[in-house]
Structure 1
Amino acid sequence: MTDSVSPTPGGHPTPTPDFTPAQRARGRALRRAQLPWALGGRITGLALTLVLGLTPAGAGLVSAVGDWFGGSRTARVLAGAAALVLLGQLAQLPFGAGARSVRARFGLVTQGWAGWAVDALRGLALTLLLALPVAFGLYALTDRSPEYWWLPAAGAAALLTAALSFLYPLLVEPVFNRFTPMEPGPLREALLGLAERDGVRVRDVLVADASRRTTALNAYVSGLGATRRIVAYDTLLSTAEPREVELVVAHELGHVKHRDVLTGTVLGAVGAAVVVALLGLASGWDALLSASGATDAADPRSMPLLAAVAALLGALSGPVQCAVSRAVETRADRHALELTGDPEQFIAMQRRLALTNVSDVDPPRVLELLFATHPSATRRIAAARAWRARRPSASELVV
């Protein structure tokens, strides 16, 4: 696709806008309608966690639910962890429902409320399956060494983070989506050829049945090593041109080429270890323990305090993580341009993604800095045009 041009008053051609005022207004309206629900959910979840962790309320909750199951230390650990997870999920539920209603009004939801509820229960079950063994292991360590428990716990957190990164596409993704191999044909061959030309080994090309939940478009490359595969939403395949699908996948291959998944896993593992170390420091602070109603780190009633500190650290580090993510996504965009040499289709692909996903193509800068994991559509398109302008023309390549 080439940019259309219109004459300026001085007679010089300039590109016409990539998005009409109506399209910009639609994306802006969705963002404004969703923002109260998104911010409300974050603030409510953090506030609940802080109240439970920094007051005796959390300690009382752990004691009460533990007593329902016999009052033993193990009962307090497991029942307390389950209660914290359940309360957190219940607090988020109305905000998730509100955001879903907004997205449904904009035509982005194809799933009914029953399916949404089933997905919420699946998410809860997965969270409990992870949280309960982690809590049990954590308090087994604190029981053995109330002062230095965080040393082995930090190593275990790093290993668990790395393992989950490897196992996620095999164990978690299939819980929410069905994946089928892409039918043999020109597009599958083009995607595999793109990966081969990029020097990236992939196990398969799969199609996710995203259309039973949403009309949004996406594709990604998931997994490490033997679990790596290209995954395309069926909505993307039914809506976008084959060349646009290739551009989306080329972007995702850029993450693999630059080892973004591996780097992210390593950084996540290091971050998990650092968080556990900071939790160890917090659990030794008498003022915090006194405020929370716990005696020491080995006391299961300290669990809400640890959860509160972890949540606060996550909230504070959020903007930094978003900034890193935007830089990584920008690099992947550049990789897609270099791999395909097709800025026109890249721009067409960005327009299609933005319009179909009803994105705010030019959001307020403060929101972008605080919450955006990807550059805005206008920034990505401008970067593609800048790349095209820097690329040598065919005549310049002739020697």
Structure 2
Amino acid sequence: MNHADRRTSLAVLLVGAVAFVALAVWLVPWQPVPGGTPPPAPPRSVFSAEEVSAAQDFATWVRVWGWGSLVVSLLVACWFGFTRHGIRLVERMRGPWWWRVVLAVTALELIGRVLTLPFAVLMRRHLLDYGLTRQAWSGFAADMVRTELVTILTTSVGLVVLVGCARRWPRGWPAVAGGLLSGLVLVGSFVYPLVVEPLFNSFTPLPDGALRSQILRLADREGVHVDDVLVSDASRRTTTLNAYVSGFGSTRRVVVYDNLVHDLPDDQALAVVAHELAHARHDDVVTGSVLGASAALVGVGLLGLAVGALGRRRPMGDPALVPLVLALLAVGTLLASPLENAVSREIETRADVDALRATHDPDAFIRMQRELAVRSLADPTPPAWSQFWFGSHPTTLTRVAIARTLYPEVPPLYRKVPRVR
């Protein structure tokens, strides 16, 4: 890398870092619970001993298969990216530069998928054994193929933009690529509900009834514009219960799983939707998108510096460096996980607090948290380092403790739920 490239990379890195910190300070609720987030509730005040044991047994093997897949995928990325094997692989490919980029992304993604496939199959069997999915193996395979196609397409677009900028602007490519990739993050968040989600699920409006009326009244009371609440046919894939908000502006949608609507009492379902409406009211998808856009600037700046040090004197515009870029992306994503998840946990905590205040029904909130945890066999006491590194949401016991802190009159023990097998 010449001096102009290094200065440009440092400038992009600095701009991205300053933007990320400023946006995080401004938009992220770093103390969403008055007085601070309380320690988790005692497990036996929420779950029976059998429920705790079942969740811990299930989670143990989830971690084994999940972390095993992560380790193998990282080793594959690093083996191709930090040795000459990746360069040799790409040099065997023929065609224009952009086609070689796409072929390189496709080849490396498929190699990684094949080598981690045993972990995916073992995880799938584990879910079947515990009754957390009823989906046929054919549906599982179809979803995996669709996921791979989406991953290859989105990664290829990003890499083509990156390499194309480096070929067109050899000295100033970090600035141009950083700006374009930041824009793509925002565009991707905007179109995701319209382009990606329909590939995996079908959506229908929540039918008229008491729950729909309560949701629309709550949205109106909270000042959240909701044209409709959509129901996803998620039960064909999973028995767990969930809801989410995606998109922003004209593509924003509040989605609930069909089994949540059918299996939870209305007061508990309303507590779930109140949490999602809080995300919508605070434009949390926008917050995540602009933080992601600034993180893209940081990543491009770091990439420019790393390629200068590790690129074996090859310019960034050489498609042979695609394996190195993918390896750096994999390592960087893992290292950034604690910060990303810390931000996510604070945002999720604020949504919990807002949901409690909006519904004024802590009993329904706690029962809902308990039901969701029992249905999904969520580990109530995950290892602290695992929660720190990979936990995107507060634990169930932390969420229960928040409700009890805000509403201390709530009694500590709730009805048992049959163990899910």
The reply to whether TM is greater than 0.5 is yes
Pick the aligned partner of 1:23 from 51, 54, 76: 51
CA distance in 2, matches of 1:367, 1:127: 25
What is residue 122 of structure 1 aligned with on the other side?
Answer: 146
Structure 2, unmatched stretches of 5+, are 1-41, 411-421
CA distance in 1, matches of 2:297, 2:113: 25
> Measured at CA, do residues 163 and 282 of structure 1 come closer, stay the same or move farther in structure 2, by a change above 3 Å?
same
Q: CA offsets per residue over residues 263-291 of structure 1, 9 Å max, x none? A: 11100111112111211111222xx122x
What is residue 367 of structure 1 aligned with on the other side?
Answer: 386
Read off the aligned partner of 1:238 and give its amino acid letter: H
Q: Establish whether residue 380 from structure 1 lines up as the match of residue 395 from structure 2.
A: no
Read off the aligned partner of 1:201 and give its amino acid letter: H
CA distance in 1, matches of 2:158, 2:343: 28
CA distance in 2, matches of 1:355, 1:187: 23
What is residue 63 of structure 2 aligned with on the other side?
Answer: 35
Q: Secondary structure at the match of 2:408?
A: helix
What is residue 416 of structure 2 aligned with on the other side?
Answer: none
Residue 223 of structure 1 and its aligned partner are, at CA, apart by 1.9
> Measured at CA, do residues 388 and 79 of structure 1 come closer, stay the same or move farther in structure 2, by a change above 3 Å?
same
CA distance in 1, matches of 2:178, 2:371: 44
What is residue 185 of structure 2 aligned with on the other side?
Answer: 161
Percent of residue pairs bearing the same amino acid type: 41
CA distance in 2, matches of 1:308, 1:203: 42
Q: Establish whether residue 341 from structure 1 lines up as the match of residue 364 from structure 2.
A: no
Q: Establish whether residue 280 from structure 1 lines up as the match of residue 307 from structure 2.
A: no
Q: How does 1:230-379 map to 2 (within 5 A)?
A: 230-285=254-309, 288-290=310-312, 295-379=314-398
Read off the aligned partner of 1:350 and give its amino acid letter: Q
Contact 2:161/2:181, CA 8 A, preserved across alignment: no
CA distance in 1, matches of 2:79, 2:170: 24
Read off the aligned partner of 2:174 and give its amino acid letter: W
Q: CA offsets per residue over residues 367-388 of structure 1, 9 Å max, x none? A: 2112111111111111111110
Q: CA offsets per residue over residues 78-127 of structure 1, 9 Å max, x none? A: 22122122223223322222211111111001101111000011111112
CA distance in 2, matches of 1:76, 1:16: 57
Higher radius of gyration, 1 or 2: 1
Read off the aligned partner of 1:289 and give its amino acid letter: G
CA distance in 2, matches of 1:43, 1:265: 28
Q: Secondary structure at the match of 1:230?
A: strand
Residue 16 of structure 1 and its aligned partner are, at CA, apart by 7.1
Q: Secondary structure at the match of 2:357?
A: helix
What is residue 137 of structure 1 aligned with on the other side?
Answer: 161
Contact 2:43/2:380, CA 8 A, preserved across alignment: no
Contact 1:53/1:308, CA 8 A, preserved across alignment: yes
CA distance in 1, matches of 2:378, 2:53: 10
CA distance in 1, matches of 2:44, 2:162: 59
Q: Secondary structure at the match of 1:180?
A: strand
Contact 1:203/1:226, CA 8 A, preserved across alignment: no
Residue 219 of structure 1 and its aligned partner are, at CA, apart by 1.1
Pick the aligned partner of 2:199 from 165, 168, 175: 175
Q: Establish whether residue 53 from structure 1 lines up as the match of residue 81 from structure 2.
A: yes
CA distance in 2, matches of 1:280, 1:237: 49
Q: Secondary structure at the match of 2:224?
A: coil
Residue 15 of structure 1 and its aligned partner are, at CA, apart by 12
CA distance in 2, matches of 1:33, 1:137: 39
CA distance in 2, matches of 1:273, 1:153: 9
Contact 2:341/2:390, CA 8 A, preserved across alignment: yes
Read off the aligned partner of 2:181 and give its amino acid letter: A
Contact 2:338/2:389, CA 8 A, preserved across alignment: yes
Contact 2:43/2:52, CA 8 A, preserved across alignment: no
Residue 229 of structure 1 and its aligned partner are, at CA, apart by 2.1
> Measured at CA, do residues 300 and 378 of structure 1 come closer, stay the same or move farther in structure 2, by a change above 3 Å?
same
Larger displacement relative to structure 2 (73-82 or 21-30): 73-82
Q: CA offsets per residue over residues 139-190 of structure 1, 9 Å max, x none? A: 2211122332111110011100001111111111110000011111111111
Q: Secondary structure at the match of 1:232?
A: strand
What is residue 241 of structure 2 aligned with on the other side?
Answer: 217
Q: Secondary structure at the match of 1:236?
A: helix
Q: Secondary structure at the match of 2:223?
A: coil
> Measured at CA, do residues 98 and 15 of structure 1 come closer, stay the same or move farther in structure 2, by a change above 3 Å?
closer
CA distance in 1, matches of 2:331, 2:90: 20
Contact 2:87/2:320, CA 8 A, preserved across alignment: yes
CA distance in 2, matches of 1:94, 1:167: 33
Q: Secondary structure at the match of 1:389?
A: coil
Read off the aligned partner of 2:363 and give its amino acid letter: E
What is residue 108 of structure 2 aligned with on the other side?
Answer: 84
Q: Establish whether residue 150 from structure 1 lines up as the match of residue 169 from structure 2.
A: no
CA distance in 1, matches of 2:109, 2:227: 35
Q: Secondary structure at the match of 1:221?
A: strand
| Paired positions, count | 369
CA distance in 2, matches of 1:59, 1:355: 48
Contact 1:37/1:98, CA 8 A, preserved across alignment: yes
CA distance in 2, matches of 1:245, 1:74: 48
Residue 202 of structure 1 and its aligned partner are, at CA, apart by 1.6
Read off the aligned partner of 2:100 and give its amino acid letter: R
CA distance in 2, matches of 1:37, 1:95: 5
Contact 1:158/1:272, CA 8 A, preserved across alignment: yes
Q: Secondary structure at the match of 2:256?
A: strand
CA distance in 2, matches of 1:234, 1:279: 43
